[in-house]
Structure 1
Amino acid sequence: MSIHIGAEKGDIAETVLLTGDPLRARFIAQSMLENVTCYTQVRNMLGFTGYYKGNPVSVQGTGMGQSSLAIYAHELIHSYGVKKLIRVGTCGALMPNIKLGEIIIAQGASTDSNTNRLLFRGLDFAPLADFNMLMQAFQTAKQKGINVRVGNIFSTDFFYFKDDPERWKIWTAHKILCADMETSMLYTLAAGANIQALSILTVSDNIITGAFGTSEDREKPILDIVDIALACL
């Protein structure tokens, strides 16, 4: 049993879908899995285990931001022996031609967070997705006729950052597709623990153009990315 999850050994599957919003974790579990049980409600950060085509799968809320995700990912890996972590979440597009609802698979994740430099003693670490999972997800999307983009993304510690209007120019100039708040930490922790990790994101807003969708607009793309993620079992 861990501090923040509090589940018993065996309650959590070796493959876990991660989502920032605990209510989205419940939505995913109820929509996509069978024989679902809730294994944690600690701090209302819900976690569920069910079955997809006979395979056990868990869905865990992590909260927003890299520090919050790090707590749950660490406990899932080191307390419960999880082998695959797949983030299914939202992002803000950083290219004006990327539309709302598009799906982005993060090949790598740059960051403005100091956490990696603390871990690597002032040096820069380039966190990457697991290649086999990335290829599985990409091929599954193509087979299902779902258009996806694959590339580098940017994980930021700031959701609201209005003091520097030039902030995004350096990232767009280097072909960064979108911004989220968790993927860089997920890939770093997975690399250190020698497990597989992937981040599949749907575009909920475009930071450059100012376009954004409602919470209802996000539900269909979320189920699409979960469908892709479950193929990585």
Structure 2
Amino acid sequence: MTVHIGAKPGEIAEIVLMPGDPMRAKWAAETFLKDATCVNEVRGMLGFTGTWNGSRVTIQGSGMGMPSLSIYANELMRDYGAKTLIRIGSAGAMQQEVAIRDLVIAMTASTISTPSCGFFKELNYAPCADWKLLHSAWAAAKKTDAKVHVGGIYSSDVFYDERPDLNEQMQRHGVLAVEMEAAELYTVAARYGCRALAVLTISDHLLTGEALPSDERERSFGEMVEIALAAATAEP
């Protein structure tokens, strides 16, 4: 048991999926895992452990933003022995060719700052996904009807962004989408020698103003969860 995770030793699997919303963790566990049991309720940040195709999997909410995710990622790896962590969540498209409901598999995650910046001082560390996880996710996605993009994303440390100049430069340099957690997850995983990936569903579009209605989000997010599960449980 840690300060933020109330699970007992052995109740967290080596494979962990991390949605930001704890209620999405509950929905994903009830929808995809067999014999899912709630293993964490501290501060309402729900976590569940069950099995998927015979593999033990934990689905643990991370909260919104890199500071919140950093707390859970550190404790999951350091105290509970998690080895493979995949962020599953929504993102905003930053390129015309990326559409609502498309999936983005994040190869890299650029950012202005993360909770880990203090470790590096003057170094501009480049957070990136685990290659084998990324390759497995890509292979799993190609077996579906989903339109999938692989490339760089931006992990913002603010939700209400007022930097159109920065957005323009990221669009110019091919950044696919924006979210708020992946860069820190990739950095913490590297620190502990673990594997990390982000598989994201496009829920809104920065260029067109389109947005996925809330009642359609769960149906669209299901494909993302299945791809993440397939990638996490594939042979390394």
TM-score of the superposed pair, with normalisation by structure 2? 0.95
CA RMSD of the aligned region, Å?
Answer: 1.1
8 Å CA contact 1:26, 1:48 repeated in 2: yes
1:228 aligns with 2:211: no
Question: Structure 1: which 5+ residue stretches go unaligned?
Answer: none
Question: Residue type matched to 2:220 in 1?
Answer: P
In structure 2, list runs of 5 or more residues that go unmatched. none
Aligned to 2:134: 134
Indicate how the Cα distance of structure 1 residues 145 and 165 shifts in structure 2: closer, same or farther if over 3 A, else same: closer
SS at match of 1:166: helix
Residue of structure 2 in register with 1:176 after alignment: 175
How many residue pairs get aligned? The number is 232
Match of 1:132, SS? helix
User: What pairs up with 1:133-212 in 2 under 5 angstroms?
Assistant: 133-162=133-162, 164-212=163-211
Residues in 2 aligned to 1:35 and 1:114: alpha-carbon distance in whole angstroms:
36
Runs of at least 4 residues of structure 1 off by over 6 A? none
CA distance in 2, matches of 1:114, 1:145: 34
**Contact persistence 1:116–1:124 (CA under 8 A):** no
Q: TM-score, normalised by structure 1?
A: 0.97
CA contact under 8 A between 2:28 and 2:59: conserved in structure 1? yes
- Measured in 1, the distance between the counterparts of 2:222 and 2:71 equals 25
User: Is 2:114–2:157's contact at 8 Å kept on the other side of the alignment?
Assistant: no
In 1, Cα distance between the equivalents of 2:147 and 2:140?
10
Q: Contact 1:105/1:149 (CA < 8 Å) preserved in 2?
A: yes
Which amino acid is 2:169 matched to? Answer: I
Tell me the equivalent position of 1:103.
Answer: 103
Equivalent pair of 1:18/1:62 in contact (CA under 8 Å): yes
Please say if residues 40 and 48 of structure 1, whose CA atoms lie closer than 8 Å, have aligned partners that are also in contact. yes
Deviates more, 1:73-82 or 1:89-98: 89-98
Contact 1:116 1:125 in 2 (8 A): no
Shift of 1:221: 2.3
Q: Is contact 2:70–2:115 with CA below 8 Å preserved after alignment?
A: no
Deviation at 1:116, TM superposition (A): 4.1
Question: Distance in 1 between the 2:181 and 2:131 partners?
Answer: 19
Could you say what secondary structure the match of 2:212 adopts?
Answer: coil
Q: Percent identity over the alignment? A: 44
> Which deviates further from its counterpart, 106-115 or 56-65?
106-115
